[in-house]
Amino acid sequence: MSSKKYYYGTGKRKSAIARVRVFNTPGEITINGKALQEAIPVEIWQKSATRPLDLLDLKSSVTVIAKTHGGGISGQADALSLGISRALIEMDSNLRPKLKSKGLLTRDSRIKESKKYGLKRARKAQQFTKR
């Protein structure tokens, strides 16, 4: 481990982007200037966002400051998870195999399909009339 001020990681999911800074000092998780419980009100998404910290038992020993934009709460939570994982690897590269085995370093590439011209949505066409 080096003696940097903070470690940076970026995560993306759907149309959400999370820029994460992990400090190697005990503290709390702050998202857009709010506490985790305030920024992400649903407990399932809170657990999804902090999964890398729970897996490595680092929740009480690091401070996480994140800025998220775009998408909804679910996408932002998954983007946070990826950003935290990448920042933790920058902090200590020995954590990589553990995070990789749990799939926390894989970017979920499923995004909204774009609308096609001549159609109402991505795949919805005009109703076909036979006669």
Task: List, in sequence order, every residue forming a beta bridge with 69; answer none if it has no partner.
Answer: 17
Digit-coded pLDDT (tens) for 71-99: 999 999 999 999 999 999 999 999 999 99
- Topology classification of domain 7-101: Ribosomal Protein S5; domain 2 (3.30.230)
What's the pLDDT at 3? 67
Please identify which residue in the block is written with the tokens 């998408």. Answer: 71
Assessment of whether the complete model's pTM goes beyond 0.85: yes
Sketch the domain layout of the chain as residue ranges.
7-101
* DSSP for 45-84, written as a single string: HHHHHTHHHHHTT-TTT-EEEEEEESS-HHHHHHHHHHHH
The distance of Cα 6 from the centroid of its chain, to the nearest Å, equals 18
